[in-house]
């Protein structure tokens, strides 16, 4: 039986700045993204019939075209019908470990793994760059999810420059399992509150991009300096998400007070993370936060910075 099993990593945003509005209605962003080793598991398996079947272990996620993995598979069928004609259809199985609607881009990770998996299954020989171009059709975070590691992302988030991935850093992730934040809501609310501060001419947007590129956060990463990097953690979306979700704002305070290098919300939230330089320190922080917040909905994960987005699962 032909089968590939892949691991698809979640990402955190070490930096997220909204610099303007784009003619296509999206925001012009500068982000620093980092993969962490909290992974969904995706298996793609050849089946005789010419169809795509998606199965998922999380019953509240749809398996039809609303699922990004299904959208990714349909895109591959449309662009490379010869793959399915030669090798048959595929059954795709998602084992979700990345929380949904969390600001960790789990859906994008699944789409990235589906593109990579079908590329292998159908022996298409697409390069990582070609997979990223396909991924950009599915969502702004998909190109990063394919390559992973650490990167500065501009445009809608799909234009990437790789940075060195900082080895040996850990992130304690915290999220109330019963709480998710809609990404469109977060950006729309930000636009209503701060749209008047947006840069609106191309030259100033380009200049700001360059400033961040040449700025302290990227310099700290280039110097492998975790503590310096933590000083420049920043996420504009905290300005709208934390006031609207006081429970998350309070959790951020507790996380920050528990220690570590720095605490920030990832993407549009509500996941928060605290960076540490050791697993032991990450465990101490998680234990302390757990002892202070008895809500059984609070999920805590200890993750390590990862240097890849999609990789073969060594356990299968
Ligand atoms: P983003 O910041 O890219 O919106 P996120 O981490 O906040 O990502 P996701 O977990 O990717 O959120 O899910 C966002 C929405 O996408 C959810 O409403 C979910 O129903 C839908 N979705 C579609 N496919 C998937 C998938 N494979 N895994 C998770 N969510 C998915």
Ligand 1: centre distance to CA 187 (Å)? 15
- The predicted structure's pLDDT at residue 201: 84
Residues 51-71 have a mean pLDDT of 96
Return the H-helix or E-strand segment holding 154.
strand 150-155
Closest CA to ligand 1's atom 31: 107
* Ligand 1 mean position, distance from CA 218 (Å): 28
For position 271, which CATH number holds?
3.30.230.10
d(CA 73, CA 47): 14
Which tens digit of pLDDT belongs to each residue from 80-95? 999 999 999 999 999 9
Whole-number pLDDT of residue 158:
84
Nearest CA to ligand 1 atom 11: 107
pLDDT in tens, 230-258: 999 999 999 999 999 999 999 999 999 99
Total number of domains constituting the chain? 1
- Nearest CA residue ID for atom 17, ligand 1: 101
- Could you identify the atom of ligand 1 that is nearest to the CA of residue 94? 27
pLDDT at 23: 83
Which tokens go with 42? 């995706």
Question: What is the CA(220)–ligand 1 centre distance, in A?
Answer: 31
Residue among 148, 129, 214 at smallest CA distance from 10:
148
The range of the structural domain enclosing residue 25 comes to 1-316
- Is it the case that residue 16 has pLDDT exceeding 90? yes
Cβ contact 19:205 at 8 Å: yes
Residue 79: active-site member: no
Tokens representing residue 58 in the block: 């999380």
Averaged pLDDT, 159-176 = 93
Pocket of ligand 1 (CB under 6 A): 61, 66-69, 100-108, 110, 141, 183, 267-268
* Burial of residue 182 (number of CB atoms within 10 Å: 0-12, 13-18, 19+): exposed
Query: In the annotation, is 141 catalytic?
Result: yes
Q: Please, which residues have CB within 8 angstroms of residue 123's CB and are 6 or more apart in sequence?
A: 83, 86, 87
DSSP state of 2: -
For ligand 1, pick from 8, 61, 100 the residue to mutate: most ligand atoms within 8 Å of CB.
100
pTM of the full structure: 0.95
User: Would the pLDDT of 1 be above 80?
Assistant: no
pLDDT at 202: 85
- Give residue 30's pLDDT band: very low, low, confident or very high (50, 70, 90): very high
Separation of CA 68 and ligand 1 centre (Å): 8
Work out which ligand 1 atom sits closest to the CA atom of 61.
20
Site to substitute for ligand 1 among 101, 158, 235, most atoms within 8 A of C-beta: 101
Find the 163 Cα to ligand 1 centroid distance in Å: 25
Ligand 1: atom nearest CA of 99 is 10
The one catalytic residue in 40, 110, 141, 236 is 141
Backbone angles phi, psi at 48, to 5 degrees: -65, -45
- Average pLDDT, integer, range 40-66: 95
Q: Which residue, by CA, sits nearest to atom 3 of ligand 1?
A: 105
> Can you tell me the mean pLDDT for 51-59?
95
């Amino acid at each position: 039986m032909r089968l590939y099993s892949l691991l698809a990593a979640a990402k955190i945003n070490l930096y997220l700045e909204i610099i303007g509005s784009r003619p296509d209605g999206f925001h012009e962003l500068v982000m620093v993204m980092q993969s962490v080793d909290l992974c969904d598991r995706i298996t793609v398996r050849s089946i005789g019939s010419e169809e795509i079947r998606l199965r998922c272990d999380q019953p509240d996620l749809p398996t039809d075209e609303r699922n990004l993995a299904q959208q990714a598979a349909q895109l591959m069928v449309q662009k490379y019908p010869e793959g399915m004609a030669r090798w048959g259809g595929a059954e795709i199985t998602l084992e979700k470990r990345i929380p949904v609607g969390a600001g960790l881009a789990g859906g994008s990770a699944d789409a990235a793994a589906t593109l990579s998996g079908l590329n292998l299954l159908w022996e298409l020989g697409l390069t990582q760059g070609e997979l990223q171009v396909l991924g950009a059709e599915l969502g702004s975070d998909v190109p990063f999810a394919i390559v992973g590691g650490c990167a500065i992302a501009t445009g809608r988030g799909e234009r990437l420059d790789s940075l060195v991935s900082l080895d040996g850093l850990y992130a304690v992730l915290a999220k109330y399992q019963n709480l998710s934040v809609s990404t469109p809501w977060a950006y729309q609310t930000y636009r209503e509150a701060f749209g008047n501060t947006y840069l609106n001419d191309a030259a100033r947007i380009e200049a700001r991009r360059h400033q961040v590129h040449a700025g302290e956060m990227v310099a700290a990463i280039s110097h492998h300096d975790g503590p310096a990097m933590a000083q420049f953690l920043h996420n504009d979306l905290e300005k709208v998400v934390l006031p609207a979700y006081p429970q998350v704002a309070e959790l951020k305070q507790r996380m920050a007070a528990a220690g570590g290098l720095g605490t920030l919300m990832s993407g549009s939230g509500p996941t928060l993370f605290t960076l540490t330089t050791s697993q032991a320190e990450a465990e101490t922080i998680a234990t302390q936060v757990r002892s202070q917040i008895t809500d059984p909905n609070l999920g805590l994960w200890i993750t390590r910075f990862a240097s890849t987005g999609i990789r073969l699962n060594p356990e299968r």
